[in-house]
Amino acid sequence: MAFPTTGSATELQAINQVLASVGQAPVTTLEQTNPDVAIVISTLDQVSREVQAEGWTFNQESYYPVAPESDGLIPIPNNMISLGLSKNFENEKYDAVQRNGYLYDRRAHVFEWNYTPKCDVIWELIWDDLPHPIREYVVARAATMTSQRLVGDPNQYQTLQQQAMLCRANAIEYDTAQGDYSFFGCPDGQGNYYRPYKPFHALYR
């Protein structure tokens, strides 16, 4: 996914935040005629994808049905960073990986699917759809990388790196609050949920 250059206020603000962090003048549009601005846009695009690829509450879905097309193939959309089979009974006889832009079954050695598998998905969202703490983290990391690429000042780099660490902590705090995680694991439907023993379950045996 190329970083959108629609000129939205949030995108332009992000670019100018990065530019200001490395001592550059702000811009009024997202046109990439200025080499430094082009580097900032490219860096922000790269960092946004890297951060989203970690998998957060806002861009993950479990047991998402991925239907094959009429030819039996399941193409991988460009905005789908990660796609893997969910752990359930129906998927046990398959071993799927992404290959050549499609979902491939390594066990049967075929690309064709005769049913709709449930998958765990990580999506890449556009900039305007990212939660504010995630945007702040992406901007802080992009500023650190831009400083390294354009300026090369170790003191500036260290300062920006510390800011990026703080923003990451805020992003993790946000994700933890949104994700309803517990000491024992993830919420139900995300594959690792602790279920305590309940005596009445013994009655079913």
Helix (H, G, I), strand (E, B) or coil at 22: coil
CA pseudo-torsion sign 78, 80, 82, 86: negative
What contacts 68, CB < 8 A, 6 or more positions away?
Answer: 74, 112, 113, 114, 115, 116
Task: Name every residue whose Cβ is closer than 8 Å to that of residue 148 and which is 6 or more positions away in sequence.
Answer: 157
List pLDDT tens digits, range 192-202: 445 555 555 45
pLDDT digits (tens, 9 = 90+) for 35-44: 888 899 999 9
pLDDT for 166 equals 96
State pLDDT tens for residues 47-90: 999 999 999 999 999 999 999 999 999 999 999 999 999 988 88
pLDDT in tens, 84-117: 999 888 899 999 999 999 999 999 999 999 999 9
Q: Is the pLDDT of residue 190 over 90?
A: no
pLDDT of the residue at 124:
96
Q: What is the pTM of this model?
A: 0.80
pLDDT at 125 over 50: yes
User: pLDDT tier at 28 (50, 70, 90 boundaries)?
Assistant: confident
Q: How confident is the model at residue 7 (pLDDT cuts 50, 70, 90)?
A: very low
Per the CB < 8 A criterion, the answer to whether 52 and 122 are in contact is yes
